[in-house]
Amino acid sequence: MFSKKKTNDTENPITENTAEEQLNKELTDDANADTITEPVEEISAEEQLKLDNAALNDKYLRLFAEFDNFKRRTQKERVELLQTAGKDVIISMLPVLDDFDRANKATENATDVTAIREGIQLVHTKLKSILNQKGLKEMECANTVFDTDLHEAITKVPAPTEELKGKVIDELEKGYTLNDKVIRFAKVVVGS
């Protein structure tokens, strides 16, 4: 079916080149390529300036569009952050709200005041612990030196002893810090 045909070197017009012949051919091709120059169209200075202007305008428009997209994206992220900023605090406060609802139901039929007082104390403790976990801390003001960075003086009264002059005698409203930043100044009475 298939026949084998013998090929002679004389029948094949393609001859093998040695490595040296190929290198010489490549060197002459490179030299010829350098000497042959294609005619390049000269662009006038005005046309070059127009091309540069168009390129710069395109670059400017792309940059402006990118900045505009950035502004819209950050504004959207800011709105979303503000809407959900207190979400974790609110979620952690829901059990306390549930406890208060149960306490209200219990007070409707309760006759024992001590049991109600204990329940309210438990809810109060739970609320304080949740707020402490979120970074809220009470300021300790009694018998400390009056500090305008932490305290708001409501009134001055004569100090009962010499050592209480310039110090907090009474605390009318507690002050709080959130992550070591004052969020509410303590309203105090200062000894003079």
DSSP per-residue string spanning 15-32? -PPPHHHHHHHHHHHHHH
Q: pLDDT tens digit string along 50-109?
A: 999 999 999 999 999 999 999 999 999 998 888 777 777 888 888 888 888 888 888 888
Residue 119 pLDDT class (50, 70, 90 cuts) = confident
High-pLDDT (> 90) share of the chain, %: 22
Contact 184, 175 (CB under 8 A): yes
Second-level CATH architecture of 137-192: Roll (2.30)
Q: pLDDT tens digit string along 128-164?
A: 999 898 888 998 888 888 888 889 999 899 888 888 8
Cβ density class 117-133: b for 16+ within 10 Å, e for less: eebeeebeeebeebbee
pLDDT of residue 13: 45
User: Token pair for residue 70?
Assistant: 């950035």
- Domain-wise residue ranges, the chain: 58-134, 137-192
Residue written as token pair 């309760």: 110
